[in-house]
Amino acid sequence: MVIIQFIRPVKNQHPGKSADDITRLYPVPSPVLHLLQEACYDCHSNYTRYPWYTNIQPVGWIMAAHTRDGKQELNFSEYGSYSAKRQLNKLKRIREQIATNQMPLRSYTWMHAGARLSNLQKKMIIHWIDDVLQANKGTGY
Amino acid sequence: MKRTILGVLAIAFLLAACNNAGQPSQAGPDSVSQEHTSTAAADSAPVTALTPQFSGLDSKVATSLKMVVDQYLHIKNGLADDNSADAANGGRAMAEALAGVNPSLLTPEQQKVFTDNADDLKEHAEHIGKNEGNIAHQREHFAAMSEDVYALVKAYGGGRPLYHDYCPMYDNNKGALWLSEEKNVKNPYMAGMTSCGSVKEMIK
């Protein structure tokens, strides 16, 4: 137990904003961006916030695995690296995941109260996605 | 007068088509039943044929793309049989088959179609593979996947003739396309309504 405390995963905190960040592709109103940062970015971006207990192993390891899997599915910081088709398909699925309460994961919101989305907050994200899809209609899909 | 005769003929045709498909003949000649006259109407109606955009594709690429289409049809048939496990097998096999395509053997113009669709398609294949037991979710990915595969076969062909079918009812009547190796309609979207749908075109 003592020894494993010295094996620490590399933190997912990249400096600066990536050239492929989603905010460079679509206009993201700041309240929506704030919601994404609070509810999604820990697992789906290059900027994870680490609460103090993630310094205790194996909590940090579990967190690192979650972040790795989450980024593989969807990474808002690398959104521009997806093909145009995949970008719009991902938005549709984000919309659906949020509308059907599949995301953010309950196992995550249980520990992170700030990541829980109210109905109004969900509507804000869904509305933003609908706007982006409408603006990009006929491109890449 | 001419109109009336045409109208009567149209109704007679529809009723005949419905009867042949084993549907109750009370289905009126409205647009919904017309969309669902299924196989009988599909067989008699002329299907437009589409020639793929590129000819003389590198033979290695053609073979590996055919394997991707094989797995697409595997998924399609799994879903049409309401067999989630079979669809999942197809999904995993498709992700592997996609990795076997070497786009560097293509001309830049040919390559673009592949790169525009490959990452999206791979993701759908993986999700269908991972969602054994959740056939509704597999079908959502299949609907999006079909758009990608359609784009690919329109460009490269499918290694065999393929039929572009359409189901107008899927996803609260938003509709979805799929591709099939057989002319008979076998709907992968609607459980219990396998013969529902129409043939849009044939891709050579």
pLDDT at residue A29 tops 60? yes
The predicted pLDDT at position B177 comes to 95
- CB-based contact (8 Å) between B120 and chain A? yes
Structure tokens at B8: 């009567």
Residue A66 Cα, gap to closest chain B Cα (Å) = 17
Query: How far is C-alpha B50 from the geometric centre of its chain's CA atoms?
Result: 14
pLDDT at residue A60 tops 90? no
Cα(B34)–Cα(B28) distance, rounded to whole angstroms?
9
**What integer is the mean pLDDT of A78-92?**
92
Question: In terms of Cα–Cα distance, which of A14, A61, A59 is closest to A41?
Answer: A14
Residues in a beta bridge with B178? B165
> Residue holding tokens 């490269």?
B156
Burial bucket for residue B106 (CB in 10 Å: 0-12, 13-18, 19+): buried
Residue scoring higher pLDDT (A130 or A108) = A130
The predicted pLDDT at position B56 comes to 84
pLDDT at residue A26 tops 80? yes
The predicted pLDDT at position B18 comes to 38
Architecture of the CATH domain B49-203: Up-down Bundle (1.20)
- Nearest chain B alpha carbon to A82: B119
**What integer is the mean pLDDT of A71-78?**
94
The predicted pLDDT at position B21 comes to 42
The predicted pLDDT at position A99 comes to 93
Indicate which of A74, A89, A91 best probes the interface with B, i.e. most B CBs within 10 Å of its own CB: A89
Nearest CB to A83 within list B120, B140, B147 = B120
**What integer is the mean pLDDT of A20-44?**
94
Pairing assessment for the beta strands B48-50 and B198-203 based on DSSP bridges: parallel
The predicted pLDDT at position B39 comes to 46
The predicted pLDDT at position B13 comes to 44
**What integer is the mean pLDDT of A54-69?**
87
Could you say which residues of chain B have pLDDT below 50?
Answer: 1-2, 4-42
